[in-house]
Amino acid sequence: MKALTTVGLSDAHCYRDGDAERIVARAKQLEARLPLQSTTFPVPTEGTLGGFELFNTSTKSLAPELDGFYGAPGIHPDGNSVLFLVGDHFSPLRTKVLIGNAGVKDAPIPPAPAKKTDGADPKKEAESAKAVVEGRDITLLSRQVIQIKVPAGMTPLEAKDAEGNVRYYFTVHVATPYGVSRELLVPAVCPAKPCPPVAPAPKATAATATNYSVAVAELAQSYAKAGQTREGKYLLGLAPAAGRVAIKWTDPASVPPPALMDVAFDFKYKDCPLTVKVTGEVVEKDKAYTLSADQMKELNTQLFSALNGFGPFTDDTNPLVQPLTATVRFTPKDPNRAVAPTSASGPFALKYACRIPTEPAVVPVVPAQHTEPVPPMKMP
């Protein structure tokens, strides 16, 4: 249609006289009434207080706000404090107040009163309504003011003021269906004496026996019969280790210590305690602590050395015929947590099998101790 006003009709001779001019005039009239132009319209980016949002997710809504408090100078740790909380956007029906680690008691909203009958007692109805009000520790005075009765047994927060002095505060939050307010710090006050200090939280410990267990309840090992005589007596000799002792970290919700130190094995033979200590640290890998080949050799060397002190043995008296049970003790190494000596939970035993070594077996024995003759005791 716009082309008719500029170029005109190329086939005007096909129409009656005056039709072409009238069509061009009508096109100009239509262009004047419906101009083909761009119009800029401002789109609102602010939401209403009811929470409506358009093109902007950070608009202001009915989330509660806390600006301050009035009444007592602070909160007594044992209770007996009444405060006015001042803010905005408090909900008349669904407002909750949290102070420290405890919530302020809020009684349920009473149902709508039934229609009065001729036999209704106005005095009982008034007492019932009064009991409901007195059972609540939150009283909403307006959308900007709340009266609260602070309960006892809350946990204060320790903080330092501008001068570096330690002060104790209670954190106050207000929640409605539209959100949670920012925290408001209310000082902790005690009459006639300063507030007692907050007991420090215990440090996380890496020395809980339930966090460690032995990967295999019965670990296979090897030994050799060394220096066997015609009578069938022999000593225990070293053979290549068949497996390695592994201690697992069993707490999936926390990070294991980087290493274990002072690893020791407590055995018992003929009611005699035998303790074998492994030198060096056992490094954590994939939440497990596995002894190295040198540490396993050291374990067997010390164990055979202690057992050979009871030898020589026969097949009937060989202490390795039955599995040797042991308790694994150690001390976690962790600079970020308090540690203490602990042990791995669960049963653990070393089961030895005799092997014929390709080389002469090394026989670990207890080194002979030099003893001096004890001088005779002189009688007075």
The pLDDT assigned to 121 comes to 63
Helix (H) or strand (E) holding 171, with range, is: strand 166-176
Dist. CA 76–CA 79, nearest whole Å: 5
368 pLDDT more than 60: no
The pLDDT assigned to 5 comes to 59
Residue spans of alpha helices (H) in 225-273? none
Q: From 2.60.40.10, 3.20.180.10, 3.50.50.60, 3.40.640.10, which CATH number describes the 65-109+129-187 domain?
A: 2.60.40.10
**CB–CB of 70/86 below 8 Å?**
yes
351 pLDDT more than 50: yes
- Categorise residue 150: left if φ over 0, alpha if ψ from -120 to 50, beta otherwise: beta
295 pLDDT more than 80: yes
Q: What is the tens place of the pLDDT at every residue in 308-318?
A: 888 888 888 88
Cα 73 off chain centre by:
36
Dist. CA 134–CA 230, nearest whole Å: 98
The pLDDT assigned to 61 comes to 63
The pLDDT assigned to 222 comes to 86
Q: How confident is the model at residue 145 (pLDDT cuts 50, 70, 90)?
A: very high
The pLDDT assigned to 63 comes to 83
For the segment 31-53, the average pLDDT, to the nearest whole number, is: 61
Tell me the pTM: 0.44
Tell me the pLDDT of the chain averaged across its residues.
75
Among 196-205, 294-303, 332-341, which stretch is predicted with the lowest mean pLDDT?
A: 196-205
- What are phi and psi for residue 147, nearest 5 degrees? -100, 130
114 pLDDT more than 60: no
For 229, counting Cβ atoms within 10 Å of its Cβ (0-12 exposed, 13-18 middle, 19+ buried), the class is: exposed
Helix (H) or strand (E) holding 246, with range, is: strand 246-249
CATH number belonging to domain 209-354: 2.60.40
Whole-number Cα distances in Å, 168 to 60, 72, 157, 182:
33, 16, 5, 18
Dist. CA 134–CA 147, nearest whole Å: 12
The pLDDT assigned to 369 comes to 46
Cis peptide leading into 312, omega within 30 of 0?
yes
Instruction: Count Cα atoms within 13 angstroms, Cβ side, for 307.
Output: 24
211 pLDDT more than 70: yes
For the segment 237-247, the average pLDDT, to the nearest whole number, is: 81
**DSSP characters for 302-316?**
HHHHHHHTT--B-TT
The pLDDT assigned to 377 comes to 47
- Other beta carbons within 10 Å of 204: 11
266 pLDDT more than 80: yes
**Per this entry, what is the length of the chain?**
380
